[in-house]
Structure 1
Amino acid sequence: MDENLADRIDDLKSKWEQTFYEPVVGALDLGSNSFHFLVVRVRKDRSFQELYSEKVMLRLGEEVARHGCFLPQSIERAVEVVAGFVKAASLVGCQDIVAYATAAFREAENASDLVDAIEERCHVTVHVISGHREAELIFRAVRASINLGLSPALVADLGGGSLELALGDQGQMYFAVSLRLGVGRLISRFTQSDPMTAKEIGAVESYINTHLRPVLDRAAAYLPRKLVVCSGTFSALVRISYLHSRGVDPLLLGKDLNGMTLEADDLFILDKLVLSKSSAERLKIPGIDPKRNDQLPIGYLVLKTVLRYLDVQRVEVSDWALREGMILDYVDSLADFDFTFDEGSLRIGSLVAFLDKFGGYNDHARQVRKLSREIALSLSHSLDITRSEIELLEFAAMVHDVGAFISSRHHDRHSAYLVEAASLRGFTLEEQRMLAALCRFHKKGSIKIEDYPLLETLPQAQIDRLAYLVAILRAADALDRSHQSLVQSCSVSVGDSKVLIEIEALGDVTLELYGLRKKGRALEEVLSKALEVKVR
């Protein structure tokens, strides 16, 4: 985070006040695996208020792979599904419907029959889009949903008829491709025993390797460090691995969560959990989606190929994909609507929007953010604090007192709850929980799971680092106890027997020094040295 954060936030807030119109739009994704309809109210903060969402699995991709066309009964069923969606859209005030059809429509000999039937009977214009366009829209949605960062990341969406891959960072997309490696297509092409035999697995892997390798060679040249998955099949596989490696988390059972992250190596447990088990045995796995049960083994073979070839370190889930990309693209065409920030400011924009609901970003939060950064930079060598941890600490300083909107009493607990429950685009699940934990312990108390059960969902390494960050946040908060921004600057130096905090003050900081005597104990504990304060 740069030093001009306050100016960037003020700019966002001025734009915020200029936008009032909030369009209601529906995105109809006519996919090869399922038809999915989403109606949202588009907010100026790049969030969507979901008004209606429905998914019906038709598995048209498998049908096209076997027969080359849509069967008459499937056409009738598809039209009935869309008609139901359109009726629901009218009930929630949908102003326009964008309908895109993907791989199965691109390949079915009689795709025009189904398109014509939908347009004539449901009065919805259907656009059959290219695989490249599909990958572009998916990448756009992901950039608006999670923080890709400055390093290249590969985005992968496995549908029923095709696999979309896009490589880029938070600022731009480098390239996008679509491959005929959809899970429905592969299921139709390869005979499967239950569970798959070693020979069957080898045949599928050989086929996937042949078709994926040229694209992965191209991606490998950019040295991507992260893989982002956003399809139902890929997300289901990551969720199963997450629950197995971290323990069953009730928050994750039965749904995909934006920002869920996992070490790439942890996914290879799926060889045992998914690939070697029968469909009946897989149904006993915590968090499994029964509707995707038969797709998981082949879906995992595609995922495994990508992971092994690229040697990425982490895998992250985005719950935004094609539908959300369609909506973002549609909104761009509106002359009377503008977002208050672009994808490049996703994390800051999400926090500003969050704070705006609870009183805004005030002077005390600005001062604590500034002092937290100065203290953290001073201690970065002694405590091995990373840039990402300093940024997370600054974000925590921005929201640490947001719970005072509910009540000043126990505001630390209220802040933690609000942050934990918020939809903060651009933050991983672990980052958001770390923010909540920093809010919970910024005031007082030992960091104990019995006092804050959410800690159970964090890796032990994160909990260990939490003690350092909490100590810094408490010291920064104490140095603005009067909420008057009296401390101009602060630096910390660590000696053999003591820690010297030097501050430059504008006025009487007696109250700040009193607060530091209390809250500074956490800093003394993590550094195992006594604090000494010098006021200049």
Structure 2
Amino acid sequence: MSDTFAAVHVGSYELTMKIFEISKKNGLKCLDHIRHRIDLGSETYATGTISSRHMLELTRVLKEFSEIMKSYGVTNVQAYGTSALRETHNINIVCAQLEQRTGIKVDILSNSEQRFLDYKSIALQSTKFTELIEEPTAIIDIGGGSIQVSLFDKDKLVTTQNMKLGVLRLRQTLEHLAEGKDRYPELIAELVDSQLHVLSKFYLNDRTYKNLVIIDDYMSPVFQKISSPGYDKGFITSSDFDKMLERFSRMSNDYIAKELSISTEYVTLAYISGILVKRITVALMSQLLWAPGVTLCDGIAYEYAEKKKYITPIHDFEADIIACGMSIAKRYGGSKSRARTLESIALPIFDKTKKLHGLGHRERLLLELSTILHDCGKYISLMNMGFCCYNIIMSTEIIGLSHRERSIVANVVRFNHEDFLYFDDSPDCYKGLTRKDYLTIAKLTAILRVANALDRTHNHKFKDVSVTVKDDEVQILLDTTSDITIEKGLINNRASFFEEIFGVKPVIRQKRLF
């Protein structure tokens, strides 16, 4: 059994569609790849709007995509818009018009969701991806509006940071300066090195990242045509890369386009992207560069195939989300041992009360993140910890989470420390969230509050926790020889909210009494 799937990306500089045949036997097979150049980014980054001319062009091309889908017998389609649409002021109106005119629903990805899908696209190159991230490796995702730098080591995400140094933004700045191509390396270095210095100071800790993986629509096609001798396709050493850039700096755009068989209009963007990669290579002291030549459409297809269980994931991407949360907690002085203790209480309560809350695996992940980030706000203020936790989480990108999911985590952590605010009484608090999201926040808050009460002294008094639901009680059995007078008193204070949300009362039972 196979599925014909279409992935559509409305990007900053082009509209892309890939059509895949997906099956358990053969995995993902690309049947067609269609690209249409449309420079939305330069317009939306400058004005925050999409002109009528571009709306007509978007509509026409999406209609053509729809006809191509029919010819292939596409059974499922997923279309995403990224930063060019994300920064449009009237995005809801734009998406509604596109769906009405073309029948294609375009969903908007947050930056963290977009980058997460880009990482999944690399996983299609499974063997090389897993081998590289065992060593210190940086993944550089270069877009039109911004770049994402993610650092991996020993198969784990160390940190990820977003910087507004996208290729189209840099081109706009360079055009405004009206300087020649020969000055691009010098000017781009001045524009980006200060931000890269901050990245080095706070996150590199004098470490070098030997491997650099590049995801972009500009330089990647060049890498596919020029590789270092003795290396696989798409691989180039940093010294060979420097020589290539130096050679291109002396050539005309027309000559480069002819030599590499790429469109002339892409040459300037590819050159800017190349200089940006050069600056990052210097900052990270990378020795080997790899551009796998994948696109967001590959990541969209990978995620679809993963959800439908056509493929088995070769990398634990959820672990990267957790690693990102742990990195944030570490940055703000969070207690790793306390987070583990809270997790050891909160997750069993969640698992044993599924029939009461009706939440799924994704909400469990959000609860786990909440335990990790439960006290990040103390870095700023012990008196206003809840408020500070909320602002830190909302101001910090968590790779793989949507803005809505990040807001859920931020509110759960906030209400672990503050009085709970009800939906109808405080609509501003839940701006952008639905009533369903509000109920998720209430349920996860109730669970986290109980977990927090059981380790309020931070003394880790018990060895093990088991949870059972019996009649009108959630019985929490603690394996401990310690005095738990404080815990019993605190849980009584927290029990009322838990009982209000779930209709059952949490009670403590002690396994060992001496």
TM-score (norm 2): 0.55
Please tell me the residue identity of whatever aligns with 2:221.
A
- Partners of 1:127 and 1:175 lie apart in 2 by 27
Q: Which residue of 1 aligns with 2:80?
A: 100
Q: Which residue of 1 aligns with 2:270?
A: 296
Q: CA deviation at 1:297?
A: 2.5
User: Does residue 120 of the first structure (1) align with residue 94 of the second (2)?
Assistant: no
2:38 to 45, 58, 73: 58
Report matched runs for 1:269-280 at 5 Å: 269-280=243-254
Q: Which residue of 2 aligns with 1:40?
A: 20
Task: Classify 1:288/1:112 alpha carbon distance in 2 versus 1 (closer, same or farther; 3 Å).
Answer: same
Question: Secondary structure in 2 aligned to 1:224?
Answer: coil
Contact 1:139 1:321 in 2 (8 A): no
Q: Which residue of 2 aligns with 1:76?
A: 56
Report matched runs for 1:124-135 at 5 Å: 124-135=104-115
- Partners of 1:218 and 1:46 lie apart in 2 by 44
> CA deviation digits over 1:505-528, x for unaligned, max 9?
xxxxxxxxxxxxxxxxxxxxxxxx
Task: Classify 1:301/1:340 alpha carbon distance in 2 versus 1 (closer, same or farther; 3 Å).
Answer: closer
Contact 1:66 1:188 in 2 (8 A): no
Q: CA deviation at 1:120?
A: 1.2
- Partners of 1:286 and 1:99 lie apart in 2 by 30
Q: Which residue of 2 aligns with 1:152?
A: 136
Q: CA deviation at 1:283?
A: 3.2
Task: Classify 1:90/1:176 alpha carbon distance in 2 versus 1 (closer, same or farther; 3 Å).
Answer: farther
Question: Secondary structure in 1 aligned to 2:251?
Answer: coil
Please tell me the residue identity of whatever aligns with 2:166.
G
Task: Classify 1:297/1:320 alpha carbon distance in 2 versus 1 (closer, same or farther; 3 Å).
Answer: closer
- Partners of 1:59 and 1:269 lie apart in 2 by 30
Q: CA deviation at 1:69?
A: 1.7
Task: Classify 1:35/1:54 alpha carbon distance in 2 versus 1 (closer, same or farther; 3 Å).
Answer: same
Contact 2:235 2:291 in 1 (8 A): yes
- Partners of 1:54 and 1:317 lie apart in 2 by 20
The gaps in structure 1 that reach 5 residues or longer are 1-20, 248-256, 345-536
Q: Which residue of 1 aligns with 2:302?
A: 328
- Partners of 2:199 and 2:113 lie apart in 1 by 17
Q: Which residue of 2 aligns with 1:228?
A: 213
Q: CA deviation at 1:70?
A: 1.1
Q: CA deviation at 1:218?
A: 5.4
- Partners of 2:237 and 2:222 lie apart in 1 by 13
User: Does residue 215 of the first structure (1) align with residue 187 of the second (2)?
Assistant: no
2:241 to 267, 272, 289: 267
Please tell me the residue identity of whatever aligns with 2:240.
D
- Partners of 1:179 and 1:121 lie apart in 2 by 35
Q: Which residue of 2 aligns with 1:428?
A: none
Contact 1:194 1:278 in 2 (8 A): no
Identical counterparts, % of pairs: 18
Q: Which residue of 2 aligns with 1:315?
A: 289
Q: CA deviation at 1:37?
A: 0.6
Q: Which residue of 2 aligns with 1:187?
A: 171
Task: Classify 1:93/1:318 alpha carbon distance in 2 versus 1 (closer, same or farther; 3 Å).
Answer: same
Task: Classify 1:207/1:214 alpha carbon distance in 2 versus 1 (closer, same or farther; 3 Å).
Answer: same
Question: Secondary structure in 2 aligned to 1:325?
Answer: helix
Please tell me the residue identity of whatever aligns with 1:167.
L
Question: Secondary structure in 2 aligned to 1:144?
Answer: coil
Please tell me the residue identity of whatever aligns with 1:278.
S
Task: Classify 1:283/1:321 alpha carbon distance in 2 versus 1 (closer, same or farther; 3 Å).
Answer: closer
- Partners of 1:96 and 1:329 lie apart in 2 by 13
TM-score (norm 1): 0.53
Please tell me the residue identity of whatever aligns with 2:299.
G
- Partners of 1:331 and 1:117 lie apart in 2 by 29
> CA deviation digits over 1:59-105, x for unaligned, max 9?
11112233332111001101111111112112112111111111111
- Partners of 2:221 and 2:124 lie apart in 1 by 21
Contact 1:152 1:223 in 2 (8 A): yes
Task: Classify 1:64/1:100 alpha carbon distance in 2 versus 1 (closer, same or farther; 3 Å).
Answer: same
Please tell me the residue identity of whatever aligns with 1:342.
I
Q: Which residue of 2 aligns with 1:489?
A: none
Contact 1:131 1:177 in 2 (8 A): no
Q: Which residue of 2 aligns with 1:204?
A: 188
Equivalent residue pairs, number: 310
Q: Which residue of 2 aligns with 1:339?
A: 311
Structure 1 vs Structure 2 CA RMSD: 2.8
Q: Which residue of 1 aligns with 2:146?
A: 162
Q: CA deviation at 1:227?
A: 0.8
Question: Secondary structure in 2 aligned to 1:97?
Answer: strand
Please tell me the residue identity of whatever aligns with 1:94.
V
Task: Classify 1:124/1:297 alpha carbon distance in 2 versus 1 (closer, same or farther; 3 Å).
Answer: same
> CA deviation digits over 1:246-270, x for unaligned, max 9?
59xxxxxxxxx98521111111113
- Partners of 1:169 and 1:46 lie apart in 2 by 31
1:90 to 67, 70, 88: 70
Contact 1:225 1:312 in 2 (8 A): yes
Contact 2:4 2:76 in 1 (8 A): yes
Task: Classify 1:97/1:142 alpha carbon distance in 2 versus 1 (closer, same or farther; 3 Å).
Answer: same
> CA deviation digits over 1:472-528, x for unaligned, max 9?
xxxxxxxxxxxxxxxxxxxxxxxxxxxxxxxxxxxxxxxxxxxxxxxxxxxxxxxxx
Task: Classify 1:237/1:286 alpha carbon distance in 2 versus 1 (closer, same or farther; 3 Å).
Answer: closer
Q: CA deviation at 1:130?
A: 1.3
Q: CA deviation at 1:132?
A: 1.4
> CA deviation digits over 1:356-397, x for unaligned, max 9?
xxxxxxxxxxxxxxxxxxxxxxxxxxxxxxxxxxxxxxxxxx
Task: Classify 1:211/1:69 alpha carbon distance in 2 versus 1 (closer, same or farther; 3 Å).
Answer: farther
Q: Which residue of 1 aligns with 2:2?
A: 22
The gaps in structure 2 that reach 5 residues or longer are 317-514
- Partners of 1:170 and 1:86 lie apart in 2 by 43
- Partners of 1:90 and 1:218 lie apart in 2 by 51
Q: CA deviation at 1:287?
A: 4.6
Q: CA deviation at 1:274?
A: 2.2
Contact 2:222 2:260 in 1 (8 A): no
